[in-house]
Structures are given as C-alpha cells and as structure tokens.
Chain A
Amino acid sequence: MQPISTAASASFFSGLSGQFYQCFVQDNRYQYILTGLGNTLVITVFAVLIGVVLGTLVALIRIAHINNPQKLRVLNGIANLYLTVIRGTPVVVQLLIMYYIIVVGTPISDVGTAILAFGINSGAYVAEVIRSGIQSVDHGQIEAGRSLGLSERTTMVKIVFPQALKNVLPAIGNEFISLLKETSVAGYIGIQDLTKSGDIIRSITFLPYTPLLTTAAVYLVIVIGMSALLTKFERRLHRNDNR
C-alpha cells in the first residue's frame, strides 16, 4: 500500500509542475491570462463608472418625482421602464442584444460594447441602492437644512448625500464585486476576458484543472482585495460617529 501511494503523490506533484509549465510557460501562454485580466479589469472599471453615473441620475429622477409627483413625470416613466427591463432580463441576453442589434454598424469595439452593456446593467442596480440610501437619511435633516434657508439642492448636496454615501457604501461595494464576476460572460461576444483566457488554455492543453483553478484564484484575489479596500474606506467614513 505504502509505496503505491508515495509513487502516486510523487507523480501527481511532478505532474503538477509539468502542467503548470504546459499551461503558462510553454509558448508564453501566461500572456493569455494577462490579456484576459486586463480586459476584465478595463470592462469592470469603466462599467462601474457608467453604472454609478447612470444609477445616480436615475435615483435623483425617481426621488425628485417621489417628493413632488407633478415633476419629471415623463423622465420618471422612462427610469421605471429602464429599471424593469434591465432587472427583468439576464445580463447575457442584454450583452447579446447590445452586440448583435444595438451597436451593429457603429465603430464601437467589442470591449466598448461590453462596457456599455455591463454599465447600463449595473446602473439599474446602483440606482435602487442610491435611492434607498438617500431615502434612509432622516427627514429631519432636510427640514433642518431648509429651515436655515438652504435651497433644496444645497441641502441635498451638503447634508443628505454625504450621509447617504455612508449608508450605501457596503451595498455599492457588493455591486462592484458582483459586476466584476458578471463580466465573465463577456466571452459570449468573443472578448478574451479572464474566464475566456483560462478556457482557451484549457482547450489548447486539454488540461482542465490548472487553468480553470488559476482563473478562479485570480478572481478571488481581486475580490478579496476589493473587499479589504472597501472595509478600510468604510471605517474611515464611520470614524466620526460614535452613535
């Protein structure tokens, strides 16, 4: 029994280094991973930016309408339609629609298409997060600001938003993290993102374990890093309230 298991584990380990060589070193295959990681990060970062801008806009429209139902009726209708459609359909389908229907005939690159699709998708979720964050600020804060003679806009900018940001930060952070992982479907429109890269190496080498587990590990490391950053940022924001 003993010799067999030793031999098996020895061959497993020598096999592991062989696999590693085959997957990443031979023919500079590590470059697949680097290119993929680059694309994944670029798509995530710019989609997050679009998502935050779009989400904030939609949230502001919805809040303005809720506060005064006479105002912004048309824009609020559009915002509601946007939220319903985006949150009611899978992101892969949205990506395919963007690629095969919407950007056809435009000079937008594949990565640009992915950024648009994921950004518009993320905006819908961010909008609801920001709306709930703004509404979670005590109404007395608005009354206090207005009673000092500050305008509605100034009250929002100087008093409500800073407090809302504190409330929504964890939820926004989660949205960033899930967006990073959602971009793994970018391969559907032929983009070589991190996931696709791992899969390419798998198909070249016929070795499933190393490339796919490595891919997973890279995602995990990025997510852990993002979580740590967020926790740090949150702690700094909360430094001032010993409530």
Chain B
Amino acid sequence: MITVKNLHKSFHTQNGTIEVLKGIDQQIEKGEKVVVVGPSGSGKSTFLRCLNLLEKPTDGEIWFEGQQINTPQCDVDLLRRKIGMVFQHFNLFPHLTVRQNITLAPVTLKLKTQQQADEQAMSLLERVGLSDKAGAYPGQLSGGQKQRIAIVRAMAMEPDVMLFDEPTSALDPEMVGEVLKVMKELANDGMTMVVVTHEMAFAREVGTRVLFMDGGTILEQADPETFFTHPKTQRLQDFLDKIL
C-alpha cells in the first residue's frame, strides 16, 4: 500500500544542512499497524510527515496505492484525502464547534452534504463517547477529548491509512488511556495505521510490526514479540533498557 524507497530528507538551517533521514526503505501493507519507536531526533516524525508530504522528501521515492506521490504530477490535496493524520498537539480548529471541526473537510470538498456529514459526525462521536460534545468548542474540552475528536475528524474523511504523530505525548497521563482505547478500536476495525509513539504497551499489544529508528535510519524491525524480547542490536537493547 505504501512503498518507501531510499528516502532522504535534509533541512536547511542557518547552521548548515541537517540530514534527518538517511535512506529509509519500507513496505507497508494494507491492514498493517506499524509502530515507529526511537529516541527523540531520530527522524520518526519526519518519516511520518513525509508519507503525506507535509515534508517534501529530498531524495528517494514514496509510492501510495500504486502511484508515486513525490512527483510534481501528484495531486497532493487528492492524496491527503486518503491519508488521515493525527497530531501531537491535536490542532483542532478553535473557532469551530466539534461538529464543524469534523464536517468542515467532507462538506467543503463536496464529498458529503452538510446533513450527511452531520449524521456521520454524530455516529463517529458516539463511537468515541463524545456525542454530548458536538456543540462544544475545542477550548472547552480536555486534552484527551480533543485528541479523540481529532481522530474522529481524520476518520470522517474515510481515509485508507491513518498516521499518528505521537498522539498521546501532549496528554496528562490519566488521559492517555482513553485515546489509546479509540486507537485500538480503530485498529480492530482493520484500519491501516502508522503510529509514532513512546507507548510501548500499545506497540506490543496493537502493533503488527515495530520499527526502531535511530540517527535517520531504521535500525531494526520485527513483530512486537521478537522486538521487545529478542532485540538484535545493542542500540535497541540499550533503548529498551532505558524505557521499560
């Protein structure tokens, strides 16, 4: 479904060029739940953001559903409809109600009428237990509620794959559970997911494959069981020792 070949990404800063991704090769199949872990600065988020072109790859190829996406011919807006994204800081639209947050894109892009979108929003809100918040503004919600709404907002576009960029990192510890629960349900429904996270329990329980990134490359990847119990590299062993 997603094929990444020799992906490179550099950022130009005042202090020179920083190479964040140094050649990533990945094949992600439909229905997989790929969890990406690694220390900060290892390029996890950049890798994820390259998949929907929020970052433009410097070199290499990214293919999505049989189409190369990092070419000028690719219609980025059309592509992004198929790739949902959930951000660390939620990025809900503060000037719109919860319902408007969810229905804005489907209605503006003429994929649904306002009425259809409203109905869909209500049934999605019910699934995440927030149907009573439809008329509320993001400023009135807790972090966990905001993130659940953000997930619903991405789901309303009925994407083929969903990307999660540290979805629980900005949350109070007591709110992490409610967000992970929604993500687990989404996984059980068969959604293809790529999740950057520090939640090892989630990686273990939900992931079908875990990637370990360090220094801009994928150092190791395996199914969760092997990944956590039999790490092959010393670097991963050290990383796991520190966080588990």
- With an 8 A cutoff between CB atoms, is B139 at the interface? yes
User: A146 is contacted by which of B80, B84, B89, B104 (Cβ under 8 Å)?
Assistant: B80
B139 touches A241 (CB 8 A): yes
Q: Do A149 and B157 contact each other (CB < 8 Å), given the known contacts A158-B104, A158-B108?
A: yes
CA distance A149 to B230 in the complex (A): 41
Residues of B within 8 A of A140 (CB): 87, 89, 91
How far does the Cβ of A199 sit from chain B's closest Cβ, in whole Å? Answer: 47
A243 contacts chain B at the CB level, 8 A cutoff: yes
Number of interface residues of A (CB under 8 A): 22
Q: Does B8 contact A (CB under 8 A)?
A: no
Give the A-B contact count at a CB cut-off of 8 A.
73
* Cβ distance A243 to chain B, nearest Cβ, rounded Å: 4
CB-defined contacts of A151 to chain B, threshold 8 Å: 77
Residues A148 and B154 in contact in the complex (CB < 8 Å), given A158-B104, A240-B95, A243-B94: yes
Question: How many Å lie between the Cα of A138 and that of B108 in the bound state?
Answer: 22
CB within 8 Å of A: which of B217-239? none
Contact call A148/B137, Cβ cutoff below 8 A: no
Distance A163 CA – B109 CA, assembled complex (angstroms)? 21
Known contacts being A150-B105, A163-B95, is A241 close to B80, with CB within 8 Å? no
In the complex, per-residue mask of B50-84: 1 if CB is within 8 Å of any chain A CB, else 0 = 00101000000000000000000000111111011
Task: Known A138-B91, A242-B139; judge A143-B54 contact (CB<8 A).
Answer: yes
B157 touches A141 (CB 8 A): no
Given A149-B78, A149-B81, A242-B140, A162–B105 Cβ distance below 8 Å?
A: no
Q: Find B105's partner among A141, A143, A149 (CB 8 Å cutoff).
A: A149
Smallest Cβ distance from A159 to chain B, in angstroms? 6
Residues facing B in A68-120 (CB within 8 A) are none
A2 at the binding interface (Cβ < 8 Å): no
B109-162: which have CB < 8 Å to A? 109, 137, 139-140, 150, 153-154, 157
Chain A, range 193-243, C-beta contacts under 8 Å to B: 240-243
Provided the pairs A140-B91, A150-B77 are in contact, do residues A240 and B137 lie with their beta carbons within 8 angstroms? yes
Contact of A143 among B76, B91, B95, B108 (CB under 8 A): B91
Point out the residues of chain A lying under 8 angstroms from B83, CB to CB. Answer: 147
Distance of B103 from chain A, by nearest CB (Å)? 11
In the bound complex, CA of A146 to CA of B79 (Å): 11
B179 contacts the other chain (Cβ, under 8 Å)? no
Closest B residue by C-beta to A243:
B139
Contact of B87 among A143, A154, A162, A240 (CB under 8 A): A143
Contact B85 A147 (CB under 8 A): yes
B202 CB–A CB distance under 8 Å? no
Contacts of B79 in A (CB 8 A): 149
Which of A143, A145, A146, A241 is B94 in contact with, Cβ under 8 Å?
Answer: A241
Is A149's CB under 8 angstroms from B104's CB? no
- Return B48 CB to nearest CB of chain A, in Å: 11
Tell me how far the C-beta of B171 lies from the nearest C-beta in chain A, rounded to whole angstroms: 16
A149 touches B77 (CB 8 A): yes
CB of A157 to closest CB in B, whole Å: 10
Known: A154-B108, A158-B104, A242-B139. A148 touches B91 (CB 8 A): no
20 additional contacts, CB 8 Å, given A143-B87, A148-B154, A150-B108?
A141-B91, A144-B91, A144-B93, A144-B150, A145-B105, A146-B54, A146-B76, A146-B80, A147-B80, A149-B78, A149-B105, A150-B77, A150-B105, A158-B104, A163-B93, A240-B94, A241-B95, A242-B139, A242-B140, A243-B139
The 3 closest A-B pairs by CB, nearest first: A149-B81, A144-B91, A148-B105
List 18 A-B pairs, Cβ < 8 Å: A141-B91, A143-B54, A143-B85, A144-B150, A147-B83, A148-B104, A148-B105, A148-B153, A149-B77, A149-B79, A149-B81, A149-B105, A149-B157, A151-B77, A154-B108, A162-B95, A163-B95, A242-B139
